[in-house]
């Protein structure tokens, strides 16, 4: 069984390969290098469907796409769907993260709460109406006041997930890849998708 992953973000490919292997080792996640559609949706679900539909159409394979981001409560859910481009058009992860830290420079705990959100679309070609599925995973936490750790990608160095021992809290940048993949918004969303993969 092959499934194409409609992303141009190599970090997402790595994470999905590990997450899928843990539950469905019979499914091979293949990369997608076809045309990149314009992501002009205003919700994670719209953008995930835009990406998955394009890859399913182009390859004829079942396609998965993740649209994700960080939603900061005190900013009304921003950056949200604009997370990849928060500081401009260049998809510059360090600039994005620094801008977010600046925007929160006057905000102290307990008001620095945020969630990582991953919405995954699965599009199965040929299955009109029943062939599109959308699931979401949310990972609650808060933003650190400074970046730490070199692991992961994007906003990982400033996100402190809930549920850690109070005297040993770390950002995801300080977590290992397998630790992140066992707990993340992406793996939470994928867990909801697993029952739907029986159709593959
Ligand atoms: P594709 O559209 O090609 O999949 P992308 O990186 O542009 O790649 P999105 O449009 O979904 O994907 O943007 C997601 C952004 O949200 C990503 O670039 C990061 O800035 C942030 N993000 C999402 N998941 C994250 C994670 O697990 N760790 C850190 N930052 C994350």
Strand partners for 133: 122
155 CA to middle of ligand 1, Å?
9
pLDDT band, very low/low/confident/very high, at 196 (cuts 50, 70, 90): confident
- The finding on whether 8 has its CB within 6 A of some atom of ligand 1 is yes
Domain locations in the chain? 2-199
d(CA 3, CA 64): 7
pLDDT, average across residues 162-182: 97
Model pLDDT for residues 113-162, shown as the tens digit of each residue: 999 999 999 999 986 667 999 999 999 999 999 999 999 999 999 999 99
Check whether 199 has a pLDDT greater than 70. no
DSSP 116-146: EEEEEEEE-TT-TTTTEEEEEEEEEEEE-SS
Q: What would the CATH number be for the domain defined by 2-199?
A: 3.90.950.10
157 CA to middle of ligand 1, Å?
14
Check whether 42 has a pLDDT greater than 70. yes
Q: Is 11 annotated as belonging to a binding site?
A: yes
Of 97, 91, 89, 60, the C-alpha closest to 171 is 97
Given this model, what pLDDT does residue 129 score? 67
Q: What is the mean pLDDT of the chain?
A: 95
Answer yes or no: 67 catalytic: yes
Given this model, what pLDDT does residue 179 score? 97
Given this model, what pLDDT does residue 134 score? 97
Q: Between 128 and 17, where is the model more confident?
A: 17
Given this model, what pLDDT does residue 89 score? 82
Question: 67, 73, 92, 162: which one is catalytic?
Answer: 67
pLDDT band, very low/low/confident/very high, at 7 (cuts 50, 70, 90): very high
State the closest ligand 1 atom to the C-alpha of 86, by its place in the atom list counted from 1.
20
pLDDT, average across residues 91-108: 96
Given this model, what pLDDT does residue 136 score? 98
Side-chain-side CA neighbours of 111 within 13 Å: the count stands at: 9
In the chain, % of residues over pLDDT 70: 98
Check whether 197 has a pLDDT greater than 90. no
Reported ipTM: 0.98
d(CA 118, CA 83): 12
Cβ atoms 186, 192 nearer than 8 A: no
94 prior amide bond cis, ω within 30: no
């Amino acid at each position: 069984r092959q499934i194409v992953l409609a992303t141009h973000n190599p970090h997402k490919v790595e994470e999905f390969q590990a997450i899928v292997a843990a539950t469905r080792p019979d499914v091979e996640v293949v990369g997608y290098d076809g045309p990149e559609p314009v992501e002009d949706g205003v919700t994670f679900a719209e953008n995930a469907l835009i990406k998955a539909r394009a890859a399913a159409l182009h390859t004829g394979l079942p396609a998965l796409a993740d649209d994700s981001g960080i939603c900061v409560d005190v900013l009304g859910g921003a950056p949200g769907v604009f997370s990849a481009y928060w500081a401009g058009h260049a998809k510059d992860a360090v600039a994005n993260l620094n801008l977010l830290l600046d925007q929160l420079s006057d905000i102290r705990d307990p008001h620095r709460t945020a969630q990582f959100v991953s919405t995954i679309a699965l599009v199965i070609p040929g299955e009109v109406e029943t062939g599109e599925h959308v699931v979401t995973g949310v990972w609650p936490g808060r933003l650190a006041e400074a970046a730490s750790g070199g692991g992961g990608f994007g906003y990982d160095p400033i996100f402190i997930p809930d549920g850690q021992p109070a005297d040993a809290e770390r950002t995801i940048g300080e977590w290992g890849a397998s630790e992140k993949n066992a707990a993340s918004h992406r793996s939470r969303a994928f867990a909801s998708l697993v029952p739907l993969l029986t159709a593959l």
